[in-house]
Amino acid sequence: MGTHTVAVVGATGVVGRTVVRILEERRFPVKRLRLSATARSAGKTVPFCGDLVKVEETTADVLRGADFAFFAAGKEASTRFAWEAAASGTVVIDKSSAFRMDPRVPLVIPEINGHALAQHQGVISTPNCSTIVMLMALWPLHRAARVRRAVVATYQSVSGAGDAAVDALRRETDALAGRADLLEGGATTEAVEVVSGTAKPIAFNVLFQWKFEEDGATDEEQKMIAETEKIAGEPIAIAPTTVRVPVVVGHGMSISAEFEHDLSPEEAREVLARFPGVEVWDDPKKDHYPTPLLTAGRDPVYVGRIRRDPTVACGLHLWAVGDNLRKGAALNAVQIAEALIGSAGTAPRPAGVVESKVSW
């Protein structure tokens, strides 16, 4: 029997559903689970530990009495309800970008800056999915050899943009799969639009599916830079290019980092393998490296293709992949709650999830 009343706001969305699944998997000590969403989704039921929990419309009332509230409903809902809930004693763990840069709000990856939780004022933010995957791979190396600069190119899955983006990839894939005339060259904007419903389908394509800021960066790139500084507690020079690819779950990234001190690829593998939440899959001789398809649904951030970059002193290339819905969002949020109640790491992995090993 659990001891905590837990609310999940945005429980029917792709991250909210994953929060519910992870609470169950990790046996988070839930006494009562309250699920909420927009009026449109109210009345649906969601399975949890053998029960069916009814989804309510998100109101201040639903949150009243909750020890923890996981917010996964977007910026607007967080802005509207988070501080009020916090004021009445709920610890809000917010997945949206609403408060990440707010000085009152710790921005936390428990393995990296769990200490920041000591300062919380009722609202804690979990970082952007790309920031989390990147930092899980970079931070252990930063501690060992200090990152001077990292150039990062991402290969991000559509689920990072929510259920609608997953549906769009499915629809566009159906529409374009048989259209060699469009896929093999010579497609006009008009033809692509007629067939797929948009001039910029993500199926069989590569896009910058974010808002462009004044300086030409995407808002996703800006988040990676700003959030890294807040989490690290010091500026780290991150030069990101964020790219969406037609993958359903799992963010990959190519990281080319320069360090202050030399680390051999072997040393980097050891440092990474020892870090909680990171696994090294790196044996090029056996064609062994992490792919989004085989790491989606798993908790760790996987790192492979660790090799020297001879164009710079103390340079290493890495390839990191993490499940953007789990460690990139829902898992990180649940781990924050676990850290607060002191139960982190005690939860067994559920049956049926493939084991994963360090190997190189």
Smallest distance, Å, CB 186 to a copy of itself? 3
Locate 184 and state its tokens: 């093999």
Smallest distance, Å, CB 27 to a copy of itself? 18
Kind and range of the H or E run holding 230: helix 219-232
Asked if 66 contacts 85 with a C-beta cutoff of 8 angstroms, the reply is yes
Asked if 301 contacts 332 with a C-beta cutoff of 8 angstroms, the reply is no
Beta strands in the chain (DSSP E): 4-9, 30-37, 45-48, 51-57, 68-71, 91-94, 123-125, 147-155, 238-241, 251-259, 278-280, 301-308, 315-322
Residue among 101 and 248 whose Cβ is closer to a copy of itself: 248
Smallest distance, Å, CB 192 to a copy of itself? 6
Whole-number CA gyration radius for the chain: 21
Smallest distance, Å, CB 319 to a copy of itself? 7
Phi, psi for residue 162 in degrees, rounded to 5: 95, 180
| Among 40, 61, 21, 22, residue whose Cα is nearest residue 338 | 22
Smallest distance, Å, CB 4 to a copy of itself? 26
Residue among 59 and 188 whose Cβ is closer to a copy of itself: 188
Count the helix, strand and coil residues of the chain and give each as a percent rounded to the nearest 5.
40, 25, 40
Residue among 122 and 290 whose Cβ is closer to a copy of itself: 290
Residue among 82 and 325 whose Cβ is closer to a copy of itself: 325
How far is the first Cα of the chain from the last one, in angstroms, to the nearest whole number? Answer: 42
Residue among 106 and 304 whose Cβ is closer to a copy of itself: 304
Would you name the residues annotated as active-site residues?
129, 251
Q: Is 291 exposed, middle or buried (0-12, 13-18, 19+ CB in 10 A)?
A: middle
Smallest distance, Å, CB 158 to a copy of itself? 10
Rounded CA separation 199/201 (Å): 6
Residue among 123 and 296 whose Cβ is closer to a copy of itself: 296
Rounded CA separation 70/72 (Å): 6
DSSP states of 267-326: HHHHHHHHSTTEEEB-BGGGTB---HHHHTT-SSEEEEEEEE-TTSTTEEEEEEEE-TTI
Kind and range of the H or E run holding 172: helix 163-177
Smallest distance, Å, CB 317 to a copy of itself? 6
Residue among 50 and 216 whose Cβ is closer to a copy of itself: 216
- Tally the C-alpha atoms within 13 A of residue 191's C-alpha that lie toward its C-beta: 10
